[in-house]
Amino acid sequence: MRRLLVESAVLLALVIGSAFTLLALEAQFRLTIGAMAAMAMFAAAAAVAAGFSAELVARLSEQRSLRRVAAAMLLYGMVVIPTTASGLAAATVDTIVVATVRHTGTLLTIVLLLLTVVPFDRPHPWPLRPLRTGSTGLRGLLLALVASLAAGALAAAFPEVAYQVIRSPFLHYGTALLWLQVALTVLVTGVLRRNRMLVWLGFGQLAVALGHAPRFWNGDPLLYSPLLVPGIRVVGTSLILLAVLQVAYRTYQRFHLDRERLAEAEAEAVEARRRLSTQAHELRNALAGVDGAAQLLAMDDPEGTVDRAALRAALSAELNRMRALLSPQPERHRQEGTRLRPLLKQMVLIRRGNGTLIDLTVEQDPVVAMPQDAVAQVVTNILANCERHAPGAHVWVTAHRLGDRVRVRVQDDGPGIPPGLEEEVMRHGVKGSDSIGDGIGLAVCRELVEKYGGRLQIEANDPERPGCVVLIDLPVKSRPEGGPAGQP
């Protein structure tokens, strides 16, 4: 509120200072007709620009009061200001008609500006349709133009009566007082509502009203100040144009902010869909292994070929991993390292339950600097791909240390990947033309491995030995400590 009051004081000083400056210049210099016409054209251009800008902003922002500003300014710029130059020296029918149109347009402009302070959330609509909604924009301008032309037609039909009306002191004094009253009404309303646009609009109208001031202190209702009137109109219409442009700028900022928020929401939605699709993909792979292990446990094994204790442990570990996938706060970030031998044994045991022929070879018992559930997710995805894309194939899983890395090699003797697509298939959503997968698994595996400083790659096919070879290089965990299976 304080800022608005300070701004109002500055605008008041600007308007009054401009008026006195113009009066002082008028007393010292004689203005040419060309200069007056130039100022009139500038004021008309500012009014028309304010009108079209207000209409555009009103349509974009649903600020319907701006449409009344648009109608008023377009009427003022296209009718009132251009017809002001017509004098009554000759008192011909043409000048009487033009003056009548000007006065009618001025009164309608004042009415439209007064209507800008009328709220649009009235409990009962206005009885006249043009005043109910934003129809007081271009439609209101059309009605005002028709009314002005109708008044001109009446003046042409009854020139003597029209001449007496337009020469009446009551009309000129009344119009000046009405300008001032509406300006103060809009200004005070803007201050009370803390509406900057109404404040600027009120000062713009006040500037125009000050152009009529010499008529009062000189006692001549027909007095026309050759510099004050066109000059102060330039000031007034410019203030109104600036008021509309401020609203336009705030509307642009709001649209820009809304667009940024929409882009953020879309990005979040895309990320959420990707996260859900990844989660569903991981759960499907885990469920396939759990289903196979459950079937093995349910089968009779009189010869004792199935290590039920190990299978139950593997099944329990897989169920725990599924719970972690569904948890909003997975625990993998609190885990520091993983022993590969027990974990790979569990993963292989689970996949063997589905009938997959898998051989496992692990040299020593390396510990990698990657959480257990992350390693399990990567291995499960790759083994599930072997089952899905190479059903019935033989799979070999080996793990050995290479310097500060541990290489896990998964190889099958299936159809393999077409040459040249080794990198392409690891992109999110990319899959082969005859693939039944989602194009998610390998991309997720690569992201997980790289997140913990590792590397995942697919070797090019060897023509003499068909199949697919996936290499997973994981960083070695330094100084491993003893712990439960799968963890240091």
Q: Is residue 273 part of a domain?
A: no
Examine the domain organization and report whether 256 and 304 are in the same domain: no
User: Which sign, positive or negative, has the C-alpha torsion 273, 278, 279, 280?
Assistant: positive
Examine the domain organization and report whether 192 and 54 are in the same domain: yes
Examine the domain organization and report whether 342 and 212 are in the same domain: no
What is the predicted pLDDT for the residue at 484? 43
Q: What is the pTM of this model?
A: 0.61
Q: Which residues of 398-432 are buried (b: 16+ CB within 10 A; e: fewer)?
A: ebeeeeebbbbbbbbbbebbeeeebeebbeeeebe
d(CA 275, CA 273): 5
With residue 468 as reference, give the H or E element that holds it.
none
d(CA 58, CA 200): 17
Q: Is residue 391 part of a domain?
A: yes
> For the domain that residue 381 is a member of, what is the CATH number?
3.30.565.10
For 473, residues 6+ apart whose C-beta sits below 8 A from its C-beta are 402, 405, 406, 407, 408, 449, 454, 455, 456
Pair 63, 119: CB distance under 8 Å: no
265-309, pLDDT tens digit by residue? 988 888 888 777 777 777 776 676 676 667 666 666 555 555 667
Q: Nearest-CA neighbor of 103 among 51, 36, 173?
A: 173
Q: Is residue 443 part of a domain?
A: yes
Low-confidence ranges of the chain (pLDDT < 50): 88, 121-123, 133-135, 332-334, 480-488
Task: Provide the β-strand partners of residue 359.
Answer: 396
Examine the domain organization and report whether 121 and 218 are in the same domain: yes
Examine the domain organization and report whether 365 and 465 are in the same domain: yes
What is the predicted pLDDT for the residue at 277? 75
Q: Which of 263, 285, 314 is the last residue of a domain?
A: 263
Examine the domain organization and report whether 208 and 322 are in the same domain: no
Pair 58, 134: CB distance under 8 Å: yes
d(CA 274, CA 208): 61
Q: How many domains does the chain have?
A: 2
- In 10 A of CB 263, how many CB atoms? 10
Q: Is residue 277 part of a domain?
A: no
What is the predicted pLDDT for the residue at 203? 92
What is the predicted pLDDT for the residue at 91? 64
Examine the domain organization and report whether 117 and 216 are in the same domain: yes
402-435, pLDDT tens digit by residue? 888 999 999 998 888 888 788 888 887 666 555 5
Q: Is residue 456 part of a domain?
A: yes
- Report which DSSP code applies to 31: P
Examine the domain organization and report whether 119 and 221 are in the same domain: yes
What is the predicted pLDDT for the residue at 399? 93
Examine the domain organization and report whether 177 and 98 are in the same domain: yes
Q: Which of 212, 245, 263 is the last residue of a domain?
A: 263
Structural domain boundaries, residue 368: 299-475
Q: Is residue 275 part of a domain?
A: no
d(CA 139, CA 142): 5
Examine the domain organization and report whether 344 and 396 are in the same domain: yes
Examine the domain organization and report whether 242 and 319 are in the same domain: no
Task: Provide the β-strand partners of residue 213.
Answer: none
Contacts for 270-279: CB closer than 8 Å, 24+ residues apart: 274/428, 277/438, 277/440, 278/440, 278/444, 279/325, 279/326
152-186, pLDDT tens digit by residue? 899 899 988 988 888 888 888 888 899 899 999 99
Q: Is residue 488 part of a domain?
A: no
Q: Nearest-CA neighbor of 53 among 290, 252, 272?
A: 252
Question: For every residue of 73-110, which 3-state class applies, written as one string?
Answer: HHHHHHHHHHHHCCCCCCCCHHHHHHHHHHHHHHHHHH
Q: Is residue 293 part of a domain?
A: no
Examine the domain organization and report whether 257 and 310 are in the same domain: no
Structure tokens at 118: 């009328």
Q: Which of 238, 263, 288 is the last residue of a domain?
A: 263
